[in-house]
Homo-oligomer: A and B are copies of this chain.
Amino acid sequence: MSSAEEATAILERAKALVGPAIFEVLRRLNPELSMSAIYHCEGKGKGARPALALLSAEAAGATSHVGLPGAVAIELIHDFSLIHDDIIDADTERRHRPTVWAKFGVGTGVITGDALHALAYETLLSDPTPARVRAAGELTRAVSAMIAGQSMDMAFEHLPTITVEQCLAMERGKTGALLSFACSVGAILADADEGFISALADFGMHLGIAFQATDDLLGIWGDPARTGKPAGSDLRVCKKSMPVVIALNNSSSVAVELAKIYGCQDEGRFISDGLAQTDLAQMDLVAAQPVLDDAAVNKAQVLVEAGGGREQTQALARQHFEEAVTALDSIAQTNTVNAQAIQEMRCLAEFIVGRDF
């Protein structure tokens, strides 16, 4: 079995446990909310976060069922964040289907996300054992960090200069915090040692940064057929992802040229900006047009690569993937560890990050 096949099998096994548990929770919502929530959840992603949550319980010597409430909570939070991010970014498609707001309206998108957010805590606190309470507390911190990261990402659009450190801090919050929680919540629920829990949390944080780095690479150089997004999609909307930030901080003329292309970003791309300038009587929306045309996207792509954005982001992905593996190795010798589960977490990590950096 190839490692991709192995990863797929691990994900399928997790899905068989988590899927029904999620739908069980969603069915308890009132009909108005469950329709939009189930619509979103049917367009499922890989389900890596809940799978890692189950594996982290198994790693600590417990059964995957022990990790289940954590897996359900993490998936609900992930879904809530996707639904709201799609509104924030004015994205109309996700996994080749209309996003929740594009299908049901912005109001329904807002309230559906809110419902899943509340439900995540409710899931953990409905049976408040010490371990679940601890997990719920960690979840509130992870969610707050995720929201802070998302708001930094939004603020970047309007900032003339961003350092690589600021960009990394943003990605740590936006992507790392939740993956860190996913990779450790099962161990928390299994009452594992603090050192064990924190090694898994480190693994998840580094994995999150590595994953975000490869995602940023795909947003610029990804194959549209595989990503489901137009080529250079992040450049098209002048997103200041890691490769772009690296190139903008390059000391050569490349940075100046790239900044010039990105300079057009203030012409009002976001729904949010459009609406902010209106009043109730005249709420015409500034069209959420992509800012850059094909020629500008191509030019930006060349400049980001020339400015070291591709190479250094690949190096960043490699570095954090290795740190993730090191964190995992640090507990591989523990007495109580389930080596099989650790091996499967590593397999998933490779699968998520991809190996082409």
Contact = CB atoms under 8 A, between A and B. Distances in A.
Interface of A: 29-30, 32-33, 84, 87-93, 101-111, 113-115, 117-119, 121-122, 125-126, 128, 133-134, 136-137, 140-141, 143-144, 147-148, 150-152, 154-155, 270-276, 278-285, 287-290
Contacts of A288: 280, 283
A157 to B, nearest CB: 10
Contacts of A106: 87-88, 106, 271-272, 275-276
27 contacts: A30-B152, A32-B151, A84-B110, A89-B107, A92-B280, A101-B276, A102-B276, A104-B276, A105-B271, A105-B276, A106-B272, A111-B147, A111-B154, A113-B114, A115-B148, A115-B151, A118-B140, A121-B140, A122-B141, A125-B133, A125-B137, A126-B137, A126-B140, A281-B287, A284-B284, A284-B287, A285-B285
Nearest to A279: B92
Contacts of A278: 92, 102
B283 A287 contact: yes
Contact of A152 (B32, B84, B125): B32
A285 B279 CA distance: 12
A270 B88 contact: no
A118 B147 contact: yes
Instruction: Indicate how many identical chains form the complex.
Output: 2
A284 B285 contact: yes
A interface, over-half SS: helix
4 A-B pairs with the lowest CB-CB distances in the bound complex, closest first: A105-B272, A285-B285, A107-B272, A88-B107
A282 B290 CA distance: 11
Contacts of A272: 101, 104-109
Contacts of A29: 148
Nearest to A141: B122
